[in-house]
């Protein structure tokens, strides 16, 4: 067969990857600015022209694409209790590749309805109550959503006793009924809602974002970019028929606006002295830190880590550091051109990794019972994970990748955080992970073998 073209329509860059599936090798990669304001095909054509400079003319037997262009898949969700159904809705949304604009708990108000209009979500996920349990909240929330002026589809995945009534309250709006994300107390059932969200992305969001202009050139836009990343990480960890995976892993994707973290691991308590609290964490987990990014969300990094700490790590005076970060926040396309700017990016990327990994991983705390002292675990225990995959410009275009990534690991200064203690760092130097997630839908073995060849070890970090 001919070469396969894999396209990632990003908010800033359109990235293209050419693959020889038969010989399981990468032919080339290229990127150009995403031209969503005019015609998205222009950016794609520019990227393909750059690719051809490396590979020469290629005849593609198939073209597949994913997208996070124009802000990606924006969702808002509402549930009953923050720690239960609202959390289940959050996990369903993130697992489908969405970026969550807002999570609501308990009863929506008129002010909330106005805020939802301002948020302009692509999809709203309405949940609440176990099957046969509370119906008042989800019914109230359906009524309030019906008053919203913006047109957005609603996925209803709450108490089955109220689902049809919710749909009637939302008559005139596009609605979809799914199985309850938490049918019984403490039991998650998020895959049906995830599948519906992904299907909506394909049927509706592609057209809304203007990506339908590109459909004549490709075999199909398969999924949101974060879903492609999750697919790649699952394949890399678990393997497929004919090729073994590398085992449990954690992955960090540090971008200009957000930092995504993935973990493929069970993460349950490791010994009898630890008890688990809260909803069980998904084996394949994604979190998105919308306030942590190297350019658009640069001030979020500083707020999370503290100005003095980041400035000290960069070797800069606080006043100079503040001036430089303010400059980058308004000049988001700049890349480091001097030693001072390189040190600044090093410090920012290090703190982005630390903050995002700490928020993703679970925690423990001491508690005392009649039987003595025990540890209470919330979230995933990732201390025994031995592989960390990193991607994003600030991590792949530097010689200090290992030093930056080390900030994602366990620290004695934060002993209750269940981050990996020690892991091998694998670097996505050629930005292929989303592309391999696309390829995995049709050629998983080739995708896995290419990842194993292309992910460059950066040693063990501690």
Question: What angle, rounded to 10 degrees, do the helices at 298-305 and 307-314 form?
Answer: 110
Question: The tokens 């696309």 sit on which residue?
Answer: 438
Question: Cα Rg for the chain, rounded, in angstroms?
Answer: 22
From residue 135, alpha-carbon distances to 113, 142, 175, 286 in Å are 19, 11, 18, 29
pTM: 0.84
For the chain, what is the largest distance between any 2 Cα atoms, rounded to a whole number of angstroms?
A: 73
d(CA 204, CA 199): 8
Helix (H, G, I), strand (E, B) or coil at 28: strand
Q: By C-alpha distance, which of 177, 124, 176, 178 is closest to 150? A: 124
* Alpha helices for 175-224 (secondary structure H): 191-200, 206-208
Q: Residues of 101-133 as b/e, b for ≥16 C-beta within 10 angstroms?
A: bbbbbebbeeebbebbeebebbbbbbbbbbbeb
Closest CA to 209 of 34, 12, 99, 69: 69
15 beta partners = 8, 31
**pLDDT tens digits for the chain (462 residues)?**
679 999 988 767 788 999 999 999 999 999 887 766 666 777 788 889 999 999 999 989 998 988 775 556 788 999 988 877 788 888 888 877 777 889 999 999 999 999 999 999 989 999 999 999 989 999 999 999 999 999 999 999 999 999 999 999 999 999 999 999 989 987 888 889 988 988 887 776 566 555 666 566 666 667 788 889 999 999 999 999 999 999 999 999 998 888 999 999 999 998 888 998 888 888 999 888 888 888 888 998 999 999 999 999 999 999 999 999 999 888 877 788 888 899 999 999 999 999 999 999 999 998 888 778 889 999 999 999 999 999 988 899 899 999 999 999 999 999 999 999 999 999 999 999 999 999 999 999 999 999 999 999 985 555
Of the candidates 274, 276, 229, which has an alpha carbon nearest to the alpha carbon of residue 392?
Answer: 229
- The domains located in the chain, with CATH, are 3-69+210-218 (3.30.420.40), 73-203 (3.40.50.2300), 235-461 (no CATH)
Structure tokens at 330: 């308004």
State residue 184 phi and psi, 5-degree precision: -130, 155
- Where helices occur in 12-159 by DSSP H, the ranges are 40-55, 85-95, 110-119, 136-146
**Residues with Cβ < 8 Å from 391, sequence gap 6 or more?**
251, 252, 253, 254, 427, 428, 431, 433
- 37-42 CB contacts, 8 Å cutoff, 24+ apart: 39/213, 40/9, 40/14, 40/69, 40/210, 40/211, 40/213, 40/214, 41/213, 41/214, 41/217
State the virtual CA torsion across 25, 27, 33, 34 in degrees, nearest 10. Answer: -60
Dihedral of CA atoms 443, 447, 449, 452 in degrees, nearest 10, equals -170
Q: Which two tokens mark 102?
A: 């807002």
Task: Write the DSSP symbol of residue 384.
Answer: T
């Amino acid at each position: 067969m001919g070469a396969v073209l894999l396209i990632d329509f990003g908010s800033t860059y359109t990235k293209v990857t050419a693959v020889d599936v038969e010989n399981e090798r990468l032919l080339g990669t290229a990127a150009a600015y995403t031209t969503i304001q005019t015609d998205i095909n222009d950016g794609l054509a520019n990227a393909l022209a750059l690719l051809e400079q490396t590979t020469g003319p290629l005849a593609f037997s198939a073209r597949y694409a994913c997208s996070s262009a124009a802000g990606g898949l924006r969702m808002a969700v509402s549930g009953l209790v923050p720690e239960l159904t609202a959390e289940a809705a959050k996990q369903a949304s993130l697992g489908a590749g969405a970026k969550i604009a807002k999570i609501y708990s308990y009863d929506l108000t008129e002010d909330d309805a106005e805020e939802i209009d301002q948020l302009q979500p692509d999809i709203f996920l309405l949940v609440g109550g176990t099957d046969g349990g509370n119906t008042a909240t989800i019914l109230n929330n359906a009524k309030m959503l019906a008053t919203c002026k913006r047109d957005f589809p609603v996925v209803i995945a709450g108490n089955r006793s109220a689902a049809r009534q919710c749909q009637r309250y939302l008559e005139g709006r596009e609605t979809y009924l799914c199985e309850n994300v938490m049918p019984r107390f403490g039991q998650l059932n998020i895959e049906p809602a995830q599948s519906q969200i992904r299907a909506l992305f394909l049927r509706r969001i592609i057209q809304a974002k203007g990506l339908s202009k590109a459909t004549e050139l490709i075999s199909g836009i398969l999924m949101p970019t974060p879903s492609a990343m999750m697919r790649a990480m699952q394949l890399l960890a678990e393997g497929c028929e004919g090729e073994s995976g590398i085992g449990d892993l954690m992955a960090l994707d540090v971008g200009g606006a957000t930092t995504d973290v993935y973990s493929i691991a069970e993460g349950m308590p490791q010994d009898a002295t630890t008890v688990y609290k809260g909803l069980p964490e998904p084996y394949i987990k994604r979190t998105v830190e919308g306030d942590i990014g190297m350019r658009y969300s640069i001030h979020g990094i500083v707020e999370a880590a503290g100005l003095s700490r980041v400035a000290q790590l960069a070797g800069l005076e606080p006043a100079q550091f503040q001036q430089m970060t303010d400059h980058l926040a308004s000049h988001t396309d700049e890349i480091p051109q001097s030693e001072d700017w390189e040190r600044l990016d090093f410090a920012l990327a290090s703190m982005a990794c630390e903050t995002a990994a700490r928020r993703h991983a679970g925690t423990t705390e001491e508690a005392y019972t009649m039987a003595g002292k025990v540890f209470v675990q919330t979230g995933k225990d990732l201390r025994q994970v031995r592989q960390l995959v990193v991607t994003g410009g600030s991590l792949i275009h530097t010689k200090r990748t290992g030093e930056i990534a080390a900030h994602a690991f366990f620290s004695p200064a934060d002993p209750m955080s269940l981050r990996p203690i020690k892991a091998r760092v694998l670097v996505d130097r050629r930005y292929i992970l989303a592309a391999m997630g696309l390829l995995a839908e049709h050629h998983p073995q080739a995708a896995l073998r290419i990842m194993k060849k292309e992910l460059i070890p950066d040693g063990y970090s501690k």
